Chain A
Amino acid sequence: MMDTAFILRSSPHLRDRDSVPKIMYAVVISLLPAIAASFYFFRFRALGLYLVCLIGCLITETLFLRARKKPMHSLWDGSAVITALLLAMTLPPALSLELALIGAVMAIALGKQVFGGLGHNIFNPALVGRAFLQVAFPVAMTTWSAPATLAVDAVTYATPLGNLKFQNAISQGTLTPLKDLFLGNTGGCLGETSAAALLLGAAFLFFRQVIDWRIPLGIILSLGAFAGIFWLVEPQTYASPLFHFLAGGFMIGAFYMATDMVSSPITPKGAWIYASGIGIMIGIIRLFGGFPEGVMFSILFMNTFVPLINRFTRPRILGERRRT
């Protein structure tokens, strides 16, 4: 009677309108305020780093997709763009472009594609690229320049956390003011300095339900508790929790890196465990470690535990007896 072939499939037959590319581009949009801030503070250094990272990431992604005979549409799902932007934002503004290119290639190759591409990576790809550079080129990765908005003649310039750790900033009274940290008028990685711009973007991501609120909140609470105790006991040696929240890579790490969907837990309880681990690790490294900053290593370290955390934090099934 009919020559139409009717669709046969299993339910459900309705779908939410959100999609992987839409989520990825929402993250890109949320980064725009911080990207704008990096242009304002570091001028044309920013342009070079963003371009090189984008080119490096997209070309590496293309080569791998071709070699693995995967469909090319994956190139435009937005994930490689995010990796490129986040990597550039966590590089020192004065880093040479060749090194940035190496970082971008490593981020995609070692951080993502060797595991099987989007969704299969254990670590945050941008942080893998950054960690590679940090280990391979430690001097270049810790040479900082002042933002263009500060009239500083010196070629190198200490970051607020470096200042705290190596220059006894608290007793000298040279600790970076919170207002400068909040706005980003200070030294540091390209896109990490302006807490205000990062928070603006993060607010959009909350609204868009892209990031799990438990993760940044858990990191804030655990680092706050850890750093807070030492600060209350010895305020002349240790900086306040608020300083730790606003300084260094905390904001970009807590809101953008740790919340990466692929490399963070999928269970609610798991998110709390993972976040507390990151917060405490940051505290330990910043207060007692050899490096002034510990956000990157803390996140990568906790990334390794995610499969295990997921496994042991299965939610309670409806009707399952509560464990006593």
Chain B
Amino acid sequence: MKKKTFARGIHPPEQKHTTENLPLEPLLPPEKVVIPLLQHFGAPAEALVKKGDDVRLGQKIGDSPALFSACIHSSVSGKVLSVDGFAHPLGKPMTAVTVVNDGEDRPDPEIRGKEDPLALSPEEIRIAVKAAGIVGLGGAAFPTAVKLTPPKDKSIDVVIINGCECEPMLTADHRIMLEHPDDILNGAELVRKAVGAARIIVGIEDNKRDVYDLFHRHPHDSPVEVVLLKTKYPQGAEKNLIQALLKREVPRGGLPFDVGVVVQNVGTAKAVWDAVAQGKPLYERAVTVSGSGIPEPKNLMVRIGTPFHHVIDHCGGLQPESNLILMGGPMMGLTQASPEVPVIKGTSGILVWGEARPPREHSCIGCARCVSHCPMGLVPTRLMKCVKYAALPEAESSGILDCVECGCCQFSCPANIPLVHWIRLGKNQILNERRKKSASS
């Protein structure tokens, strides 16, 4: 049978073998954790604690009344050292709660699981998920409670559990799937109940056959279909995964809700189950630590707020020739100015390597590889030229805002043009212009 996949895309070297067979190990939390109040898509949370307060493991330390936000919990027990600006993996310093770890992991007494989680109402599930501060763990960190609240006029029929992990080098999701299949399937069932869907589809790429076989054989009561996909990047991007599994296309500028779908990453599904069944807030996550600059690559369960250098030290330490630290995968990861930044809810990987000087950039020769690989059907070289020569209205009419910044174009560009960089610049300029207009009118 021909394996399902989406149109176009690329197949970069996977480089997963270094860590795919390494089980998740818990990493002991450091002496001090730095927990930023913004770790998600949306409004930052406001601190609920102040300097000198005693906090417990899993205690809520940040919350926000905004719809698009997520609450924040302490990942250790101990004393609050400061609530202040701190280096953040997204680039700009942001307010963070620094807690001195007392090493005792005294749990928050209010943490309590539900008796029969699968019998809960959709609203009860949403409340538990919101209280646990769960966000999408695939990388985008979209508040999960919002995703579990489809608009009244959209009926949802399918929940997709995203087990693609299409980014090269990352294997944390792979390990979660191998080690916690029950939690994932139970979490998926909770998601299905919350959104009122009929089906659950688990999408797994064929470079993780072991997971596919495991899930296929796994006994479960819920209506689960497990589908093997042809390994290709960016299969894990929502719109492409929906196209691959269901042949449905999310309308331009729309959301998966619009085609009756909710997509959740496998790690998020497990977090949902943990939150509802045990009342466990999202204070730790699976992180792949890899790259040629890491002497001992590992898959770790890391407490949120652990500085990168603590994680890297546990994996053999930073090497003198390393000059690139990434949060996330090599295709969409964010470079870091310093290893002081803390692990946040969206940290799927910490990658380190050394790089010589950048390759020489040439003029676009019109090879059209960016066009034949763009999973969104765009013409990246044209968008680049529109931005470069300040033709923003044309960039917009050519679909620049549809770009998901997956990087397929730039990966395949033989002229080494920073296409995604130009496109980001153009998107920012267009959105800023729009904001100005709506503010003045």
Contact = CB atoms under 8 A, between A and B. Distances in A.
B334 to A, nearest CB: 7
Contacts of B376: 317-318
A7 B323 contact: yes
A307 B122 CA distance: 54
B418 A10 contact: yes
B133 interface: no
A12 B368 contact: no
Contact of A19 (B334, B378, B405, B416): B416
B366 A318 contact: no
A20 B368 CA distance: 13
Contact of A317 (B325, B331, B402): B402
A9 B375 CA distance: 23
Nearest to B423: A10
Nearest to B408: A12
Nearest to A21: B362
Contacts of A77: 362
Nearest to B251: A319
Interface residues of B, number: 70
The secondary structure that dominates the B interface is: loop
A69 B425 CA distance: 28
A6 B362 contact: no
Contact of A15 (B250, B338, B411, B424): B411
A251 B243 CA distance: 40
A321 B249 CA distance: 9
B339 A2 contact: yes
A263 B379 CA distance: 16
A292 to B, nearest CB: 31
Given A10-B421, A268-B372, A314 B379 contact: yes
B330 A14 contact: yes
B324 A6 contact: yes
Interface stretch (A114-122, A132-140, A165-173, A190-198): A114-122
A310 B368 CA distance: 11
B332 A23 contact: no
10 contacts: A1-B339, A6-B335, A12-B406, A12-B420, A14-B407, A16-B12, A20-B365, A317-B377, A317-B378, A318-B375
Interface of A: 1-2, 4-16, 18-20, 22-23, 73, 77, 79, 117-120, 212, 261-268, 310, 314-321
Interface of B: 7, 10, 12-13, 168, 239-240, 243, 249-254, 309, 318, 320, 322-326, 328, 330-340, 355, 359-360, 362-368, 371-372, 375-379, 381-382, 398-399, 402, 405-407, 410-416, 418, 420-421, 424
Given A13-B333, A119-B364, 4 more contacts: A15-B416, A16-B10, A16-B413, A315-B377
The 4 A-B pairs at the shortest CB distance, nearest first, are namely A12-B407, A119-B363, A266-B368, A20-B362
